[in-house]
Structure formats: structure tokens, C-alpha cells
Amino acid sequence: MNHEDHHGMKMDNEELSIEEIEIKSWKKKLVWAWIFAIPIAFLMFSERLFSIELFNEMTMTAIILVLAFPVIFLTGWSTIRGGLRGFISFYFGMDSLIALGTIVAYITGFLTLFDIVQDYSGVAAMIMAIFITGKYIESKARGRASKEIRKLLELGAKKATILRNDKEIEVDIIEVKVGDIIIVKPGGKIPVDGIVFKGQSSVDESMVTGESMPSEKNMKDTVIGATINQDGILYVKATKVGKDTFLAHIIKLVEEAQGTKVPIQKLADKITSVFVPIILVLTVLVFINWFAFTQDLSRSLGVAISVLVIACPCALGLATPIALMVGSGIGAKNGILIRKGEAIQTMKEVKIVVFDKTGTITKGKPEVTDIYSINVKESYLLEIAGSLEKLSEHPLSRAIVAKADLKKYRSVSNFKILRGRGLQGKIGNKQIIIGNRTLMKENKIDVRKYEFTIVNYESEGKTTMIVSENRKIIGIIAVADALKEDSLEAISKLKQSGYKTVMITGDNETTAKAIAKQVRIDLVIANVLPEDKAKKVEELQREGMVAFIGDGINDAPALKQSNVGIAMGTGTDIAIEAGDIVLAKGSLIGVVQAINLSKKTFRKIKQNLFWAFAYNVVAIPLAVSGLLHPIIAEIAMALSSITVVTNANLLRRSRID
């Protein structure tokens, strides 16, 4: 897909990706190839295996030639063209053998009509049909195209409400100019990057920063386009529009990372590039030798075709995609979606596993972690706090309300949100204040007695809320982005397997180290700006291959930069689209399973390649010596393909946890 496609946003009927078009194309070829190949197989085997003669030899050859033509020269045209091009450029691939083998075998059909040689035209059609089947499976296994750029473009706001001549007017996003005052209501998307001109609110920036705690915004604070305003009206002065915005910058980073990530060459291709020219030379030598010694053109051609047919790497063509397909199926059952086949080969080289923190190691939403009640019952503390916090929409408030889980809330009067500090209100005749140290100080409430407890919670990366009743502290509630249940287990397993574990986060050092300590991660890189994550991954790549696990928009460039990008399925669409592997369940045990699955699938690919060649190693000498009839060669070739498919299916018995 070209650059214009991304930014021009084509109409729906043009939105099929390159890979999706390729899958459709091979599927169409596959259906048509077998429509003609099945009758050919029936005709050939009814005569050769069961000695049933449906037609005389001349008619039979003519029918097979007619049926084989569309298989080879219509459905197989791209293969024939690519294979013959190899003879011009001297770069021979799998297509070269297929093209030469099928064309020579097909031509024998015409020569048979003049009784010069035996007819192998039916064999040619079968070779092509099997090859197309392999190609279709391969295109399916490679997965659908990345739509991440389009997903990113969709994230931006489409409209903006701006102030013009003291009037509120709605305009398209492209009409917003630098300096315009934009009004963003609660729940609305901030359309462009800007500075708060008037108003106060908390803004959910998790889709950009990955940070679950909303960011408090006051006058002169900067805001980022595509983030969501939560609970106050903001007047934002536009500072960056169009291609200068943060979102546009991230789009550019993803595009660049995409462009630099070269897909790993398949092992089969490396072997084929040497194997094919050797077979071509061998075929010519065999033909010359046989003709020189026997003067029998039919026999010499038959032996040469046998060599070409038995060497036709159909099993080789199936070896990788069939194992990938089985591996992908097992992965899907376990919530591991393999989007890029290359990841399976790259995974075995990975030395460093890098995690984003929020939403990856942690749940990505605040939860109450500790309750410290002073001279009151814990249930009373939660009842008081829950009743007050119920009136606020702040995520920290939601965490306390969820923890309190009250059937009935106390009625609150004189309720007030004190932005960035906490809230206050009256329950009966009692004055309740909940908030941070600053709020306690403002109300001259002494917290020194509990300083040790507060500092202790904060050193663990938790946000503390002090609860006071009539100016007396009755408790402290600590809230944090809690660890996912299996993060420690998953990271321990990775360390046992010898991987270096790293955590990258935009969080401060204290919070980052507190989380890292809990999951026993090797290295922490904190205070990382969203756009710098990919750079940090690049630095780590100097030490070895890197797998990166993330879930936010800000992780997309890093997922692309890494050798294997693993996206959490519970994350943003863009992260999912940027990943080579997606963990649908959003559980880190999936990382361990994905690595094990990749290694086992790659082992199957290697075994398949061994079997694909084992047939050739045994059968080519037999073909060269003239002991292998092309029909036997064809059956052996089909058997090698069946062996490969069967071996790949044995993967289903493997355990990946």
C-alpha cells in the first residue's frame, strides 16, 4: 500500500490490503486449478492404477492437454512467468523448477501425439495444482495486512468546536488553524495539540502515554490531540495542527519503522537458491548423457523430467506455510494470534524481552491496594470515603467506590471537588475531607504522625489519599495500578529460560522501580517520552534481538522497531495492528506461550524441510539412474508433501505452557 493510500483514505471498496488481495487471488487460482486437476487425476489413475481405459490413447492425451492448459498457463501463469524470468536474470527460485518441469512435461503431451515420447502432461497439471495449494496456504498463514496507519488516522477527532467572534462554531478538523480557541466539553476528544487557555479538567492520555492515571490540566498546561477530556470544560489554544501534531508524528514513526523492518528470509529460500541451479544443471547433464548412450529421445526426456519432477520442491513450498498454519491454529486456541509468519523464525533469536508497564505488566486501571484505618473500623472508613467519592468521576474515586462496593451510600451535602488535591463534603454534621498532603495542609490538619505510612506507600509507587473527619485523620487509602495476576509468574519463567527482562515506562523512577521490584525485572528504564520508546528499543538491539510487549498507541513505533512485536489484545487497535503477535487475552503468560509456540513451530518447519529434502536425496539418484518413472516420481513428490502436512499436524499434540 503506498503512502498516498494511507493519507488519502480511499473509499471502502479500495480498502483491501495487499495481503488480503493476495489471499483472494491465490484462493481463486486454487479453486480453478483443482476444477481441472481433479478430472485429470481421475483419468490418469483410472488407467494407470486400475487399468480402466475410458478413451483411446490419442483422445486421452488430447483431453488431458486441454484440461492441463488452464491449470498451467492460466492459474499458474504468475509462477511460469516468474520461473522463466529466472532464466533471464540467472536468479533461480522455487518457481524456476516448477516452471521448467511443468512446461517440459506439458510439451511431452504434444510429442506423444507424434509418438516421439511418453505423455507427462497430466503430471504437469498435478505439479502446478499442488504448488498453487501451497501458495494459498502460505498467503493465508502470512496473515492480513497491517492497517495501523489507517487506525491511527481514525483516532483523531473529525470535528472541532471553535470560538470565532465570541460564537461557538463547529468546523472540520482541517479548518483549525494555529491560535484558534477550541472548546472541549467533558467526554469530548481534544482535536489538536494545544495549551489550556481557560478551564480545568483531568484528561485521559492513556491512549497516547499508556499511563492509566488521568493527567490534571490547568491554565497553560499542554494537551495532546486525540486524548479525551474527562470532567471539566477546557478552552484550548491550538499550537500544532495537521502534520505537526503528536499523533501525526507517531504515524510518521510507525511508517518509518515499517519501512526499515526487513522480513527475514525463509530458510527454504536460502536452500532453494542453491538447490535449484544444481538440479537444472543436473537435469541437462542427465539428458545429454542418456541421449549420448541410448540415442533414445523418449527415454532421455523421461529420465530428465523424472529428475525435474522429483526435485520439484512442492513439499519444500509447503514445509513452512503448513507448519505456520498449524502453529497459528494452536496459537489462536490459546489466544495467541500470529500476524506475521516471520516472527516465528525471529523469535528463536530473541535475547531481550522488553515490557511496557501500564496495561502490560499492570492492569492499566487504578485499584485500592491498601487501607490503613485509624481508630475506626475499616468498613466505616470505606463507607465514608465511598459515599463522597461516588460523587466524583475521577478514576481514583472510581477505584475507591469499587472497593467500598456499598449497597447504600450516605447522603452528602456541601460537596466540592478540589481539583488536583481531593474533595470535601458533609455527612450528617461531620466535615469530611479526602485528599493529598497539600489539601490537609490547606486545612491545617496535621499528618506528621502518619508520615512514615504515607512515604512507605508512595515509595511503592502508590497514590495515597488521606481521609479526615472533623479535622481528625481516620485513615489512609492507597491506590495503584495493580499488577496483573500472572505478571510475576510469566517474568520468572522468562528469566529461568535465560531472557534478559526490561521494563520501559513514562512513569517516574519511584513508581517504576516499585513495580519492577514486585515482578523482579532485570532492568528499568523510566521517564521515557512516548516518542522515545522506539529509540530505547533500538539501543537495546545492540545487545541482541529484542521482543517488545506493549498495548498503547505510544507503543506502536517500539512494537515495529523491535525484532518481534507482541501486542496485548486488551490494548488499543493501533498497538494490536503494529504487533507481529497479538495476545488476545491480555495475559503475560501468553508471552511465554508465544515464545514456546514459536520455537516448536520453527522446529517443525526444520523437520519439514528435512523430510522435503530426504525424499529428494533418496529419489534423485534413482531418477538419474533411470530407475524412477516420472509417475513414481510424481507419487514420491506427493508423498513428501503428505509427510510434511502430517508432520506439521503432530504439532497439535505439543504443550506450549
DSSP state at residue 649: H
**What DSSP element (H or E) covers 436?**
none
CA distances from 570 to 300, 364, 538, 573, 584 (A): 63, 10, 25, 9, 7
Question: Contact, 181 vs 237, CB < 8 A?
Answer: yes
All 3 cell numbers of residue 613?
529434502
Question: Contact, 522 vs 508, CB < 8 A?
Answer: no
User: Following DSSP, what letter does each residue of 531-573 receive, concatenated?
Assistant: GGHHHHHHHHTTTSEEEEEE-SGGGHHHHHHSSEEEEETTS-H
CA 198, 203, 206: angle at the middle one, nearest 5?
155
DSSP state at residue 530: G
| DSSP helix/strand/coil, 426 | strand
User: Following DSSP, what letter does each residue of 139-180 receive, concatenated?
Assistant: HHHT-PPP-HHHHHHHHS-SEEEEEETTEEEEEEGGG--TT-
Backbone angles phi, psi at 462, to 5 degrees: -100, 150
Strand-by-strand arrangement of the 159-164 sheet: 167-172, 159-164, 181-184, 234-240, 193-198, 222-223
Among 180, 204, 356, 481, the active-site one is 356
**For residue 307, which of 628, 80, 643, 609 has the smallest C-alpha distance?**
628
Q: Cα–Cα distance between 311 and 315 in angstroms, integer?
A: 10
Instruction: Verify whether residue 356 is a known catalytic residue.
Output: yes
Q: Cα–Cα distance between 499 and 217 in angstroms, integer?
A: 40
Which residues belong to the active site?
356
